[in-house]
A and B are shown apart, each in its own frame.
Chain A
Amino acid sequence: MDKLLTINNLTGGYQRSRPVLHDVSFSVNTHEIVGLIGLNGAGKSTTIKHILGLMEPHSGEVRLEGKTWVEAKDQYRQELAYIPEMPLLYEEMTLWEHLELTAMAYGLDEETFEMRAKGLLKEFRMEKMVKWFPSHFSKGMRQKVMIMCAFLIQPSLYVADEPFVGLDPIGIKSFLDRMVELKREGCGILMSTHILATAEKYCDRFVLLHEGKILLQGTLKDLQEQANMPRADLDEIYVEMTKEDDHD
C-alpha cells in the first residue's frame, strides 16, 4: 500500500486569525477507504476543501501522489474526484451533457467515455433520464449524477462528502459496491459521513475529527484501544469521545 494522500500538520480555515483546523495529520493509502467522522462543525468540510485545493493551508501541507496543489495544479486535480454533499449541477445541462462535459474536462477520449457512461447509467438506473434537466431530478437523482461523474473519470483518489444523503437503497448499494471494487483496483477513498454503521462496515480506517483537531485515528481496533473501550462499536466511541470533550 502506497501513500496516496498525505496531510501533514495542516492548520487552516477561512481566516488566518481564526483557524478551523489545528495541526491535522492523516493519510489515505491506495487500496483503502478512510472514514472522516465528526459532529456538525467539526471541520470535515474545511478539511475536504483543503484537500481539493479550494483553500490554502495557513501552515502544513496537503500532498496528493507526492505533489502539493501549488506545485502541479492540473495534474493534482486530474487525480482527484469529488462528490459534494449538496449536488452541484448545471441547471441548463442535461444528464448526458453533465457526463460528457466531465469526460471532456478530464481528457477522456470519446470511446472510453461512451462505454463508461453507458455502464454507469445502467448501474444507477438513470438510462431513461439522459435527456432530462436537473430541475426534474429528485435529491437522490441529483446525487447520482454527481456520483456518476466522479466514477466516470476514474482518478486515484475519491473524496466523498456525505454521499448517501437522499440516495435510495439500491443507489447506496451500487455506490458501496463500486467503492469496494475501486479499492480492490488500487484507489484510495476518503469518505465523510454520519452514518456510522455503514462506515464501520466499509472503512478500513477512521479519522475522528472534533473541533478542528483529530481526537482518534486508526482501525476500529486502534480506536477501541485509544478510547479504552474494548468491543465498543463506532457509535459508542464517537458519542463517548465527543461527550468527554464537553466536560473540559
Chain B
Amino acid sequence: MISEKQLWSRRRIDYWTMATKYLKLIGNSGFLFTIYLLFVFGSYYYGQFLQWLPETFPAVLFFTLVFMWLMTRGRVRTFVKQGDLFFLTPREEKMSSYFRSALHYSWLMETFYFALVFLLLAPLFFDRIHPSGSLLLSILLLLSGLKLWNLASGFQEQRVQEKGKYHVHTFIRLGINGVTVYALFSLQPMWFVVLLAGILAVFYYGYFYQLSKTHSVKWERLVEIEDQTVMTFYRIANSFTDVPQLKSKVRFRRWLSPLFKLVSFKKQHVYHYLFSRAFVRSNDYFGIYARLTLLGLLFISVVQLDWGRWLVIGLFAYMTAQQIETLKHHYATNKMVELYPLSAQSKFQSHQFWLLVLGAIQAVIFGTGALIFYNLMDMVIALFIVSLVYFYHGFIRLAKVYRPA
C-alpha cells in the first residue's frame, strides 16, 4: 500500500520517463536545428520588425489579450487514469495531498510555458511598454501568482457537473484575468495591484473553495483533461517521430493518387506499392515532407545571403531525406509483409526509388523558388545541391541503413 503522495510522484515519474524518450527523439531529429536556425535568423529580423511596427501599435492591448488567454487556459494536470474511476473514487476524501501535489506541479509547468512566451515578447515589452528589466520580472512574478489562482480556481470549478455552468465559470475567470492583466501591463500603481490581489483571494475562499464542500470531484472530467494533455504531447511528438499510442488517422489525399501511377503491377513493385500508400496516406510522412518543403521555400525567399541560402537548401533537403528514411520501419510490425515471397533487396530498391522521386520533386520546387526570387543561376545551384543531397542519401546513407547488422 502506498500513500497518495507516493502514487502521485510515481505517476509523474512514469510520465516523464515516457516523455523524455520522445523528447530525445525530437532532439535527435533535425527539427531542433531548424529551431536554432529560426532563432538566429529570427533575432536578426525581430529588430527590423520592431522598427517597422508603427508607433500606434496597441502594445498594452496586445499583451493583455495574449496573457489573458495564457492565464485562463491550462488546467491542473492530475495524471489520473481511466482505472481510477473504479479504484480511487472511494478514497476521494483522502486525495487532497495528491491533488495538492498536482496543483504545485501544474503551477511550475504552466509558469514555465508562459514565461517562455513572455521571454519571446520581451523585446517588444522593452521597446513599447517600459525599458526596465526589474519591472518585467515583477510582472512575471505577479502573473505567476495569478496563474496559481487560476489553476486553483479552475480545479474547484471542474467539480461543477453541468457543462454550460462549467464554461460560464471559465468565462468569468477570463474576464477577471483580462482586468488583472490589463492593470499589470498598463502599469497601475502598487496599491491598486495589492487591492486586486486581495479581491482575488477573497473571491477564491468565498466562492471557489466553497465549491469543494458541496460538489464532488468529477473524475471523468479529470481523465478527459489528462487524456487531452497526453494527446497534445503525442501529437507534437508525432510530427517528429512515430508515436504508436496515437491511433494514426489515415487520410485519403486523393489528389496525390497520380503518384501511384509510378507503380506498375509486377512483383518487383510490391514495396513501391506499400511505400507509396504509407507515404501519402498514413501518419504524417507527407505532412512533414510538405511542411519542410514549404519552410525551405520560405527561407529561400528570405535569406539574401548567397552561401547562407545554399546552406539552408542543403539542410532542408537533408532533413527531408531523413524523414523519408523512417519509412523503412513503417511495416515492421505487420507480419504479412514478412510472409511475402520477396527478397530484402527489393525493399531497399523501392525505398531508394521513392527517396529519389520525392527528392526530384523537392529539387524542382526549390529550384523554381530560386528562379522566381533570384535568377537562373541560382536555380541551377539549388537543383544541384538538392540532387547531391538525395543521391548521397539514397546511395550511401540508405544503403548503410539497409545493410544487415
A residues lining the B interface (CB < 8 Å): 52, 54, 73-78, 80, 82, 84, 88, 90-93, 97, 100-101, 103-107, 110, 113, 133, 135, 149
Cβ B340 vs Cβ A106 within 8 A = yes
Looking at the complex, which one of A73, A88, A91, A133 makes contact with B336 (CB distance below 8 Å)? A88
- Given contact pairs A74-B343, A75-B341, A90-B334, A105 touches B282 in the complex (Cβ within 8 A): no
Q: Using A73-B341, A74-B342, A133-B250 as known contacts, say yes or no to A97 and B277 having CB atoms under 8 A apart.
A: yes
Q: List 6 A-B contacts (CB under 8 A).
A: A75-B341, A77-B340, A82-B336, A88-B336, A91-B282, A92-B278
Which residue of A has the minimal Cβ distance to B342? A105
Q: Which of B252, B267, B280, B281 contacts A105 (CB 8 A)?
A: B267
Which of B274, B277, B339 is the one whose CB lies under 8 Å from A77?
B339
- In the complex the two chains form, what is the Cα distance from A46 to B280 in whole Å? 35
- Asked if B310 is at the interface of the complex by the 8 Å CB criterion, the answer is no
How many angstroms between the C-alpha atoms of A105 and B267 in the bound complex? Answer: 5
Q: Is B270 an interface residue (CB 8 A)?
A: yes
Whether B335 lies near A105 (C-beta < 8 A) is: no
Q: Which residues of A contact B278 (CB under 8 A)?
A: 92
> Could you tell me if B341 and A92 are in contact, using CB atoms closer than 8 angstroms?
no
Give 10 closest A-B pairs by Cβ, nearest first.
A92-B282, A105-B340, A92-B281, A77-B341, A74-B341, A78-B341, A107-B267, A105-B270, A92-B250, A88-B336
| Chain A residues with CB below 8 A from B339, complex form | 52, 54, 77, 80, 82
Extra A-B contacts (6), CB below 8 Å, given A52-B339, A80-B339, A105-B270: A54-B338, A78-B341, A82-B339, A88-B334, A100-B265, A101-B270
Cα–Cα, bound, A103→B334 (Å): 17
A91 close to B248 (CB less than 8 A): yes
For B273, the chain A residues whose CB sits under 8 A away are: 97, 100-101, 104
Overall SS of chain A's interface: helix
- Distance of A76 Cα from B342 Cα, bound (Å): 11
Interface residues in B312-338 by Cβ distance below 8 A to A read 331, 334-336, 338
- Residues in A with CB closer than 8 Å to B163 are none
A-side contacts of B331, CB under 8 Å: 90
A104 touches B248 (CB 8 A): no
Closest approach, in angstroms, between the C-beta of B352 and any C-beta of chain A? 19
- Taking Cβ atoms with an 8 Å cutoff, the residues of B that contact A are 248, 250, 252, 265-267, 269-270, 273-274, 277-278, 280-282, 331, 334-336, 338-343
Q: Which residues of B contact A92 (CB under 8 A)?
A: 250, 277-278, 280-282
What residue of chain A has the Cβ atom nearest to residue B252's Cβ?
A133
A106 touches B341 (CB 8 A): yes
**Partner pick for B265 among A75, A78, A104, A135, CB 8 A cutoff:** A104
Docked complex Cα distance between A107 and B269 (Å): 10
Q: Which residues of B contact A149 (CB under 8 A)?
A: 336
In chain A, what residue has the closest Cβ to B283?
A92
Determine the distance from Cα of A105 to Cα of B336 in the docked complex, in whole angstroms: 11
* Partner pick for B267 among A73, A90, A104, CB 8 A cutoff: A104
Q: Which B residues lie within 8 Å of A97 (CB)?
A: 273, 277
Does the CB pair A93–B277 fall under 8 Å?
yes
Q: Assess whether A88 is in contact with B335, with CB atoms less than 8 Å apart.
A: yes
B335 & A84 in contact (Cβ 8 Å cutoff): yes
Complex: A76 Cα to B270 Cα, angstroms: 18
Q: Are A91 and B270 in contact (CB under 8 A)?
A: no
B contact residues around A80 at 8 Å (CB): 339
Residue in A closest to B269 when the chains form the complex, CB atoms = A104
In Å, the complex CA distance between A92 and B260 comes to 13
B132 to chain A, nearest CB (A): 56
A111 to B331, CA, bound (A): 28
Q: How far is the CA of A78 from the CA of B274 in the complex (A)?
A: 19
B282 and chain A: residue at smallest CB distance: A92
Q: Which residues of B contact A82 (CB under 8 A)?
A: 336, 339
Residue of A nearest to B334 (CB): A88
Q: Which A residues lie within 8 Å of B338 (CB)? A: 54
Taking the closest CB of chain B, its distance from the CB of A85, in whole angstroms, is 11
- Residues on B with C-beta less than 8 A from A88 are 334-336
C-alpha gap A163/B252 in the complex (Å) = 30
Whole-angstrom CA separation of A28 from B212 in the bound complex: 70
Bound together, the chains give a CA A84 to CA B338 distance in angstroms of 13
CA distance in complex: A52, B336 (Å)? 10
Given known A101-B270, A104-B267, A133-B250, contact A54–B340 (CB-CB < 8 A): no
CA distance A73 to B340 in the complex (A): 10
Most interface-central of A74, A88, A91 (chain B CB within 10 A): A91
Chain B residue at minimal CB-CB distance from A79: B341
By beta carbon, the residue of chain B nearest A72 is B341
B277 and A90 form a contact (CB under 8 A): yes
Tell me the minimal C-beta distance from B21 to chain A in angstroms: 24
Q: Which residue of A lies closest to B265 (CB)?
A: A110
Q: Which residue of B lies closest to A106 (CB)?
A: B341
Chain A proximity of B289: nearest CB distance (Å)? 15
CA A75 to CA B341, docked complex, whole Å: 7
Q: CA of A114 to CA of B303 in the docked complex: distance in angstroms?
A: 54
Q: How far apart are the CA atoms of A107 and B273 in the complex, in Å?
A: 14
Query: A97–B263 Cα gap in the complex (Å)?
Result: 12
Chain A minimum-CB-distance residue to B336: A88
A76 to chain B, nearest CB (A): 8
User: How long is the Cα–Cα vector from A106 to B338 in the complex, in angstroms?
Assistant: 13
**From residue B102, how far is it (CB to closest CB) to chain A in Å?**
35
Does A90 contact B265, Cβ atoms closer than 8 Å? no
In the bound assembly, the distance between CA atoms of A90 and B270 in angstroms comes to 13
